Homo-oligomer: A and B are copies of this chain.
Amino acid sequence: MAEEARYRIGEVAAAAGVSTRTLRYYEELGLVSPSGYSPGGARRYSDTDRARVLRIRELQELVGFNLDEIKTIVAAENRLDELRTEFAVISNVEAGRSPQREQELVAEAIEINDRLREEMKAKLSRLETFLADLDARAALYRRRAKQAKR
């Protein structure tokens, strides 16, 4: 049961806060492609596609990765998603065909995920320190403001 691809490129772009050009650029780089097309050849995105775009933006904006690093991450996730879809289509027993491939992909996903988590933890603690410094600075400034007022 293929998920229906109903969003137009402009809708997904608006939802993600980017331009349509950006989505075509992501596609060019192999980051996300629409899972369908209209009869006339216009891109149609599914909910999964849309979610992937949002994830890319999160990795880019919040985490600060470049599109190349992001590609590594989402590529692994996408391969895993595809495998899951396959499993859903052909029967579970029939799917037993490639248990090794699944193990490989899951192992890969775990590795990438773990690396990412470590980086995020590190970044988080650095950010906490940074915020604490800001708070200290804030207190300092306010003392100085009081001092200056007299």
Contacts and interface: CB of A to CB of B under 8 A. Distances in A.
How many copies of this chain?
A: 2
Interface residues of A, number: 35
A120 interface: yes
A148 B99 contact: yes
Contacts of A135: 117
A62 B123 contact: yes
B145 A62 contact: no
Interface stretch (A18-26, A28-36, A40-48, A103-111): A103-111
Interface string A83-124: 000000000000000010011001101100110110011011
Contact of A120 (B63, B120, B127): B127
B110 A148 contact: no
Interface string A123-150: 1101110110011011001101100110
B131 A124 contact: yes
14 contacts: A58-B130, A63-B130, A99-B148, A106-B141, A110-B142, A110-B145, A113-B138, A114-B138, A116-B134, A117-B134, A117-B135, A120-B127, A121-B131, A124-B127
Contacts of A64: 61, 64
B103 A149 contact: yes
A92 to B, nearest CB: 11
B130 A62 contact: yes
B127 A113 contact: no
